[in-house]
Amino acid sequence: MDRILGLHHITAIADNAQHNYNFYTKVLGLRLVKKTVNFDDPGTYHFYFGDEIGTPGTILTFFPWEGIGRGRTGSGMATEIGYSVPKGSLDFWVDRFKQFKVKQDEVK
């Protein structure tokens, strides 16, 4: 049996499409590598954010549904997503999150 070596992408739900786009592109610096629609709900965007070439494993996708409300953690759901950053860049990211008023835990 083949082993699973990693994830291609994770899909999440966001409330406001513009806020979602701004956070992932302007704050985190990811690229919008694809914008399509939800095939089950063609009136809803499907945003794909990732590195500059859309490398598998860097992709995080969203369905923005305005007014959806806060989700509840349940079985089989991703509750946290982490990114690695280059060695020596933590101060940059702490300052950047402060600049954009992003809540963050203490960096140790």
Q: What is the pLDDT of residues 79-105, one digit of tens each?
A: 788 888 889 999 999 999 999 999 988
Whether the predicted pLDDT of 45 surpasses 80: yes
What is the residue whose two structure tokens read 């956070």?
23
Identify the pLDDT of residue 9. Answer: 81
Mean pLDDT across the chain, nearest whole number?
88
Whether the predicted pLDDT of 5 surpasses 80: no
Identify the pLDDT of residue 7. Answer: 75
Distance CA(97)–CA(39), nearest Å, equals: 34
Interior/surface letters 35-53, b for 16+ CB within 10 angstroms, e for the rest = eeeeeeeeebbbbbbbeee
Q: Can you list the domains of the chain with their CATH numbers?
A: 9-68+83-99 (3.10.180.10)
Whether the predicted pLDDT of 1 surpasses 90: no
Identify the pLDDT of residue 106. Answer: 84
Whether the predicted pLDDT of 78 surpasses 80: no
E-strand ranges in the chain read: 9-14, 31-38, 41-50, 59-64
Percentage of residues of the chain with pLDDT beyond 90: 55
Which whole number is the average pLDDT over 60-86?
84
